[in-house]
Amino acid sequence: MQIVSKTNISPEEASTTEKMTLDVGGMKCAGCVRAVERQLTQYPGVKSACVNLATEVAVVELEAGAVDPDALAKQLTAAGFPTQPRKLGGKVALETQSIQDPVQRQRQEMQAAKRQLVIAVVLLVLSLTGHVGNMSGHVIPVLHNIWFHCGLATVALLIPGRPILVDGWVGLRHNAPNMNTLVGLGTLTAYTASLVALLFPQLGWECFFDEPVMMLGFILLGRTLEKQARTRAAAAFKELLALAPQVARLIGKPKTTEGATPSLSSSTAVVEIPAELVRVGEWLQVLPGEKIPVDGEIVDGQTTVDESMLTGEAVPVIKQLGDLVTAGTLNQSGAIAIQATRVGSDTTLAQIVALVEAAQTRRAPVQKLADTVAGYFTYGVLTAALLTFVFWYFFGTHIWHHAVMAYAMEISHHSLLSTSHTPHLTIYTPLLVSLKLAIAVMVVACPCALGLATPTAILVGTAIGAERGLLIKGGDILEKVHQLNTVVFDKTGTLTTGRPVVTDCLPFEADEENASVTSVALLQMAAAVESGTIHPLATAIQQEAKRQKLSIPDAVDFHTEPGLGVSAVVEGTSVLLGNCDWLKWHGISISETAQKQAQELAADGKTTVSLALGDTIAGLI
């Protein structure tokens, strides 16, 4: 169960209100959504419920401590909708697992749907073969026999059609008819009428065993395509879960000294554990290039962290002792130790995931209208089918008697030419005509477009937005976007691309203070030193060297000070690359010429780095 404080109520009410997330399966149409919501809202202690068909998730608002999640899930399962509550337990991995379980279930349902579709298609092809042979004049007796078609229809109902029939019956028994109820009634009615006509040929009824086979085949094809579309639509949301690492490096026992802050040593034990086992207060080691597993505070070391997944800032942020770091962000340049401050569902990343999922359950106004209409759609179709039967049975066949007889004669003519039909003349009685038309009304009506289009659009929009760093609070917000006429952005560090390029490479002329190098040599030295880092400036220097097709000398003894500079030994010479203050701290003299050029470049909005060979400055990039 995922408990989230309600944000739009008073503090006094907040303590008495909880939100619970349920993974609900078995929903096929908007009628199922309405049935699930009715089951939830009628449960004691539940204040409201919002169900999303596309994501198969229900968010329930309830009184604190008044509802047992497992009991509520069992009631929904008994109603024909397999349900399980989210059980986070304050752990990211468990949250991930709770979300992946429905994903696994959807994958299994997809495989089962494909198997059923294959069987239905084979039956459909066999059923149509008789008609093809009838048109071509080449008749295969077995495929053209009426008992063979009866067997095909029976197999279609028992194997690929069985889940539809069972689900439709369960919905009807719980006073919640759905699309499967319509399909089940239509196919069973057609099959039963055909079976009666076959067993009692003296009635003169027509056998239409092909109709159940064709109906099930096309319906299963549509649902398989629908499942594939929903799976693809949810892919972007699932990628959010991959941002959190699954493994953390737990620091066993930091070295402690009385009256001092715990510290690390080379003998400190580090053990890899699942990230969901991390507890608040524990120390973790994060190496360069690894994602930070939990929210925490740096207790040892310094580094630069790529927080673009959280803030949108492409330029890495310098992190030092005492700074806070966020789960899912990327440690770039230095090894650090952090103390966990927030774990599991309390981390910023977990809250982002919860926000995105909650947004996908918030309905747009147009979706509320569509769901309201679709909720009564099944009852409307059943009523329309009943009225169709009554009208044609009592009035239609009498008003248009000549048209019905002409159609009957045409069908009978084809029947006499075919060995698949009974030898008796088909008599189109009012009962038979009314029954066929009522069946047609039931099976052609499908509210899937009405009930699926809007939630799927919201699912795609919010998930892709989250993948690109844009959090949309719900479908109602998404629907209002077209009314905007002004958008205000925070540009610096957010809209900035963060991909710098080298614009100038300025070597200094030889004098008493500066060593003389060419611009090519200056760039080669800088690229060699930066080969040991992944900072955006380092990447820019390396890409410029590759663009000029320069050979990069080997470098050893790398040392990086995040936010300041990097040093290495290149061809036996100590090379430092960083800002002027850092070079001064290393005892390197910065000439007035170098300072003036750096100021001019900075005035043009450029970032400068200084390169020193040994103890003298050689140039600016």
Which residues are known to be catalytic? 490
CA–CA separation, 292 vs 436, rounded Å? 65
182: which strand partners?
A: none
Residue 203's Cβ-count burial label (10 Å; 0-12, 13-18, 19+) is middle
**Residue 346 near residue 433, CB atoms below 8 Å:** no
H/E stretch holding 409 reads: helix 401-417
CA–CA separation, 369 vs 183, rounded Å? 24
Query: Phi, psi (5° rounding) for residue 93?
Result: -65, -35
**Residue 323 near residue 285, CB atoms below 8 Å:** no
The region, left, alpha or beta by phi > 0 then psi within -120 to 50, assigned to residue 305 is: beta
**18-34 in b/e burial notation, b at 16+ Cβ within 10 A?**
bbbbbbbbbbbbbbbbb
H/E stretch holding 544 reads: helix 536-547
Beta strands 17-24 and 270-274 are unpaired
Residues in the chain: 621
Please identify which residue in the block is written with the tokens 């042979």.
133
237: which strand partners?
A: none
Collect all residues with Cβ–Cβ distance below 8 Å to 164 and sequence separation of at least 6: 180, 183, 184, 187, 216, 219
**Residue 550 near residue 524, CB atoms below 8 Å:** yes
H/E stretch holding 618 reads: strand 616-620
CA–CA separation, 285 vs 336, rounded Å? 6
CA–CA separation, 32 vs 455, rounded Å? 14
Classify residue 606 by its DSSP letter. -
20: which strand partners?
A: 60
CA–CA separation, 178 vs 308, rounded Å? 45
**241-268 in b/e burial notation, b at 16+ Cβ within 10 A?**
bebbbeebbbbeebeeeeeeebebeeeb
For 84-134, give the DSSP string.
EE---TT-HHHHHHHHHHHHHHHHHHHHHHHHHHHHHHHHHHHHHHHHHHH
Intra-chain end-to-end CA distance of the chain, in Å: 56
- Among residues 242, 247, 230, the alpha carbon closest in space to that of 466 is found at 242
- If you compute the radius of gyration of the chain from its CA atoms, what whole number of angstroms results? 35
Helix (H, G, I), strand (E, B) or coil at 567: strand
How far is CA 273 from each of CA 245, 246, 282, 329, rounded to the nearest angstrom?
11, 9, 12, 19
Residue ranges with strand state E in 464-596: 506-507, 555-561, 565-570, 573-578
Query: Phi, psi (5° rounding) for residue 614?
Result: 70, -120
Residue 190's Cβ-count burial label (10 Å; 0-12, 13-18, 19+) is buried
Residue type, 354: A
